[in-house]
Structure 1
């Protein structure tokens, strides 16, 4: 591994509770690093603001959330880049936008790294972020469980008389995973399909038609979960399941129970929330950008 452009004193990879793996670097910069702007907000202050919006305690126990890459804890943050998945293209975009912080919905470090070399794309991302002084924060399932978070955004295309978590949080039952929406007025399955397409911005969806159901069948109750929703939606009583992805047998189980299923790709069921969060988080001191290079890895052709 060639390290001509910067000096790294020590990489330490360690396990925190709830599988939180964080990589730290001693403060060592070269002229090629991003210049730390004297303006803006301290990294720690930004992190505290993020945790106030969505407490990390809302995240699932298996998740790895929080500050995952911290090149310099004294850094000032004036520009933030939002993404669902952190790829090498997105890191390059952060450099072009001058962003000192990437908020990556999906954690770029989920399982522990056994090495930090240039041999894999995930390791190269960590190296590049540290090299150029870019911090990485991941909220993931804390954004799913929070009020007005990813799941509330996903269901906002319909008018519901009641919305409640499918798996309520133990400390605050009004928050939690998934949403069960009771519609004010029943609408047809075709209207739901059209609404999801318009809301997410997709030309095509995958539909599992429940046994005995037609496109003009009424929908009164929608159970939804952004991302991969089977573990949340399973055994939920609803007319329709809306999620990003399910396996063949999971869809078969639902449709044979007479439940319609709409699949809209894993990250496409989440990505639209970034623009909502941009408006929520941006202020006079922080410029917040939504990545233009972040996209679902699957395309219907």
Structure 2
């Protein structure tokens, strides 16, 4: 599915910048960001309108964001499953990461300092608290642990060349091939099969490098095993929530050693490890967000340049255009940026004492 979810009318008296804001989720914070930037359109990977609407009101937070954007002349478009399915799309990007090779550290530029770590204070952070015995007497003072909330790294922190993508010999194909003719290799999900088994820690390193070295993420391995024991010959990949796609993979008789996705239910993960599989989850949207920066942004920049020239040429040929509209057509500048506000709702709480 890809479609325009909100088409804001052109108002020459309040013309937006020729700019696009890319995001995974269109939240209130991202709407604020787009309004402040004066963008023309928000391209939100997840569709904010998922079911039919009988009304649009300010009471619903998502509808509120749509109404605010419309009032500012900002449109909303969602590519969603078209991006998942396409050759060179989200599925192939994740496959490129797990088949990549770490770059030489000497070739890497220094990333900006981390500005996306938000300390979260407990009510008594750093203060003494008193343990009280049954008789009501205070027995000792202890310090409440101090924690910080670590979200997935900001796109500004990614080292673009930390991983040489798709460097290992392998075969890949969709879990569900598209039924549209003329697009071999397109479809939902990906299966990667290596020519030689790869240690699980190497896969973990590739995922960390390819996605900005998150502080931590869930991983499940069979009981009685260590990550260092596991050799991976095949991987099932699904961005976002992988349960349904992996069930389709099982029905098709496709056996893999590792499931790589954004989220998987408790029982689905238990079933996987009891079958001898491993599971790596990154939280839902963390399997998707890096694609905006690494792939979609440069693709849009190339496409918009040609498309905007074509539209400007066609529109100028029409008669009776207002001076304001001609002024808009004469503006050849455009900009594509990735939201720095957008992030997965989940982060990882880490004890500062563990950070060393």
Same fold (TM over 0.5): yes
Q: What is the distance in 1 between the residues matched to 2:242 and 2:184?
A: 19
Out of 259, 274, 278, the position equivalent to 2:297 is 278
Contact 1:85 1:294 in 2 (8 A): yes
2:88 is the alignment partner of 1:148: yes
Contact 1:206 1:262 in 2 (8 A): yes
Structure 1 residue 77 displacement after superposition: 7.0
2:216 is the alignment partner of 1:204: yes
2:90 is the alignment partner of 1:81: no
* RCO comparison, higher one (Cα < 8 Å, 6+): 2
Seen in structure 2, the aligned counterparts of structure 1 residues 169 and 213 have a Cα distance that, compared at 3 Å, is farther
Out of 148, 166, 170, the position equivalent to 1:161 is 170
Q: Which protein is richer in helix relative to its size?
A: 2
TM-score in terms of structure 1 length = 0.75
Structure 1 residue 111 displacement after superposition: 1.5
The residue correspondences of 1:52-131 to structure 2 (distance < 5 A) are 59=1, 65-72=2-9, 78-131=18-71
The residue correspondences of 1:185-224 to structure 2 (distance < 5 A) are 185-201=196-212, 202-211=214-223, 213-216=225-228, 217-224=230-237
Q: Work out which of the two has the higher radius of gyration on C-alpha atoms and give 1 or 2.
A: 2
Contact 2:16 2:38 in 1 (8 A): no
Structure 1 residue 280 displacement after superposition: 1.1
Where structure 1 has 5 or more consecutive residues not aligned to the other structure, the ranges are 1-58, 60-64
Q: Which residue of 2 aligns with 1:18?
A: none
| Structure 1 counterpart SS, 2:46 | coil
Q: What is the distance in 1 between the residues matched to 2:300 and 2:246?
A: 30
Residue-pair matches, total: 238
Q: What does the per-residue CA deviation read over 1:149-176, in whole Å, with 9 as the maximum and x for residues that have no partner?
A: 1111112121342110011111245211
Q: Higher mean Cα deviation, 254-263 or 156-165?
A: 156-165
Q: Higher mean Cα deviation, 211-220 or 285-294?
A: 211-220
Q: What does the per-residue CA deviation read over 1:255-274, in whole Å, with 9 as the maximum and x for residues that have no partner?
A: 11111000110000100000
Q: Which residue of 2 aligns with 1:177?
A: 188
Contact 2:175 2:190 in 1 (8 A): yes
Seen in structure 2, the aligned counterparts of structure 1 residues 100 and 251 have a Cα distance that, compared at 3 Å, is same
| Structure 2 counterpart SS, 1:122 | helix
Q: What is the distance in 1 between the residues matched to 2:282 and 2:338?
A: 20
TM-score in terms of structure 2 length = 0.64
2:252 is the alignment partner of 1:252: no
| Structure 2 counterpart SS, 1:198 | helix
Q: What does the per-residue CA deviation read over 1:187-209, in whole Å, with 9 as the maximum and x for residues that have no partner?
A: 11111112212211212111110
Structure 1 residue 186 displacement after superposition: 2.0
Contact 1:197 1:205 in 2 (8 A): no
Q: Which residue of 2 aligns with 1:32?
A: none
| Structure 1 counterpart SS, 2:348 | coil
Q: What does the per-residue CA deviation read over 1:35-92, in whole Å, with 9 as the maximum and x for residues that have no partner?
A: xxxxxxxxxxxxxxxxxxxxxxxx4xxxxx3000001279887200000000111111
Q: Which residue of 1 aligns with 2:342?
A: 294
Contact 1:189 1:214 in 2 (8 A): no
Where structure 2 has 5 or more consecutive residues not aligned to the other structure, the ranges are 100-167, 306-332, 350-356
RMSD: 1.8
Q: What does the per-residue CA deviation read over 1:112-161, in whole Å, with 9 as the maximum and x for residues that have no partner?
A: 22321111211111111110011100011110000111111112121342
